[in-house]
A = this chain, B = another copy of it.
Amino acid sequence: MRLADTPLLTDLYQLTMMQAYHDQGMEETAVFEFFARSLPPHRNFLVAAGLEQALGFLESLRFDSEELEWLNATGRFRQSFLDRLERLRFTGDVHAMPEGTVFFPNEPILRVTAPLPEAQLVESRLINLLHFSTLVASKAARCVLAAPGRQLVDFGMRRAHGAEAGLLAARSAYLAGFAGTATVAAGWQFGIPLYGTMAHSFVEAHDHESDAFDRFIHSNPRAGIFIIDTYDTEAAARKVIDLAKRLQGEGIAVRGVRLDSGDISTHARAVRALLDKAGLDEVKIFSSGNMDEYALRDLMAAGTPVDGFGVGTKLDTSDDAPYLDCAYKLQEYAGKPRRKRSEGKATLPGRKQVYRWHDTDGLMHRDLVTVEDDVQDGSPLVHRYMAAGRRTGPQPDLDQTRRHCALALARLPGALRTLEPAEPYPVAIAESLHRLAAQADELVD
């Protein structure tokens, strides 16, 4: 069975609605857009991510025979509809903001223009992919802003929500400026740099902590980072110093030590002093354990001598904002604008473009959301990535995307860069969009 790339990774109602579209021949062009309705309380901006996965999903969309047989066995679907599913491919266009773009509520980061059944079916998985990648990229960007100049590494896979979450979190974190990840499969799949230290269990499996350090570095001479808090942090630091001196004759360098518990600021100062006194100022201090942007900010503010951080659970689960209020909504069908007016959840119809203006220092100044053909003199953020089911030319690789994100973060206004809630960034809705909404409301009952 396919896990992540099966079209059965959808909601049942997508298939029952498609069966009705099929019966009615409702295959005209639909336009859906994906956007956030609001920011979580602890976010001043979001970072778009997941487009690469979304495009890959659309390109490879097809039902295989095992899946069709199973659908048939449910007794919910007629043969003529299942025959249609067998032939189904994604034939539409995709417009999107590039990954790594900073965005705000009501700004679409992805638009699907396709025959209604295709655009409907893919809703659940497109949200699933874009939502999570964006969630973690947005959290990771805050960590990057909170610890300038420090090496940040994703340690979160073990408490990420399943396999794909671990992989996509590593990717989103790297995209947003992390140095890399501990997750081997993310190195394999995405080419992300891998980092690792050692676990407490390695120390515990030895009778003597010093033997554990000695054996580890002889087996991994380029990866000599030791965990030193298993029993007594400063005592372990002294063992590392003794070892480092002995290794100098062998031409092996100790790269660092890791602190994972207790008061990091106090331990880091004590260990730094011990290392420096021994002339080991090139040995780095890494820290992990309950890290997030708030802990990073506080450790930085205290001048804690830590060179790098492992950020794990709270990054991969985006614990202070574990989901975004986001949606993939029908904006147009068969040439007519569409929207829902549900209480508290009304949407704006039509195909949209987002324009951004920067100030004379190059910092972001304001955005405008408008209908696609209402051309403005700002920078348009939404571009075409797929036409008739095929990608339009080469896509940026992950390192290009990472540079795009770094530039976007460098252009954030000062107020948005802090971890505290800021005045909302100005995003205006064009009059042309409001007019279109009024038109849409007249078309239906």
Which A residues are closer than 8 A to B by beta carbons? Answer: 1, 3-4, 6, 8-17, 19-24, 26, 30, 32, 67, 70, 74, 76, 116, 120, 123-125, 127-129, 131-132, 135, 155, 157-169, 182-185, 187-189, 194-209, 215-216, 218-220, 222-223, 229-232, 260-263, 313-314, 317-319, 322-324, 326, 329-330, 333, 338-345, 443-445
Q: Given A197-B13, A262-B344, A444-B231, A4 and B157 touching (CB < 8 A)? A: no
Question: Do the beta carbons of B159 and A162 come within 8 Å of each other?
Answer: no
How many monomers of this chain does the complex have?
2
CA distance A207 to B158 in the complex (A): 49
The 22 sampled A-B contact pairs (Cβ below 8 Å) are: A4-B4, A12-B187, A17-B202, A17-B216, A20-B202, A24-B215, A24-B219, A30-B201, A124-B158, A128-B158, A132-B160, A159-B324, A163-B164, A164-B165, A209-B444, A209-B445, A231-B342, A260-B342, A261-B343, A313-B323, A317-B322, A322-B322
Top 3 closest A-B pairs, CB basis? A12-B196, A162-B164, A161-B161
CA distance A15 to B9 in the complex (A): 33
CA distance A232 to B262 in the complex (A): 57
Question: Do the beta carbons of A204 and B333 come within 8 Å of each other?
Answer: yes
Question: Do the beta carbons of B199 and A17 come within 8 Å of each other?
Answer: yes
CA distance A184 to B123 in the complex (A): 13
Query: What residues on B are CB-neighbors of A13 within 8 Å?
Result: 182, 196-199, 202
Question: Do the beta carbons of A230 and B340 come within 8 Å of each other?
Answer: yes
Q: Pick from B10, B76, B319, B342: contact of A323, CB below 8 A.
A: B319
Question: Do the beta carbons of B323 and A317 come within 8 Å of each other?
Answer: yes
Question: Do the beta carbons of A3 and B1 come within 8 Å of each other?
Answer: no
Q: Pick from B20, B162, B333, B445: contact of A163, CB below 8 A.
A: B162
Question: Do the beta carbons of A185 and B9 come within 8 Å of each other?
Answer: yes
CA distance A129 to B338 in the complex (A): 42
Query: What residues on B are CB-neighbors of A333 within 8 Å?
Result: 204-205
Q: Pick from B3, B9, B219: contact of A23, CB below 8 A.
A: B219
CA distance A280 to B426 in the complex (A): 49
CA distance A124 to B170 in the complex (A): 14
Question: Do the beta carbons of A128 and B184 come within 8 Å of each other?
Answer: no
Minimum CB–CB distance from A211 to chain B (whole Å) comes to 9
Question: Do the beta carbons of A132 and B161 come within 8 Å of each other?
Answer: yes
CA distance A23 to B216 in the complex (A): 9
Q: Given A124-B158, A159-B127, A200-B330, A19 and B220 touching (CB < 8 A)? A: yes
Q: Pick from B9, B32, B318: contact of A184, CB below 8 A.
A: B9
CA distance A205 to B357 in the complex (A): 35
CA distance A203 to B230 in the complex (A): 60
Minimum CB–CB distance from A180 to chain B (whole Å) comes to 9
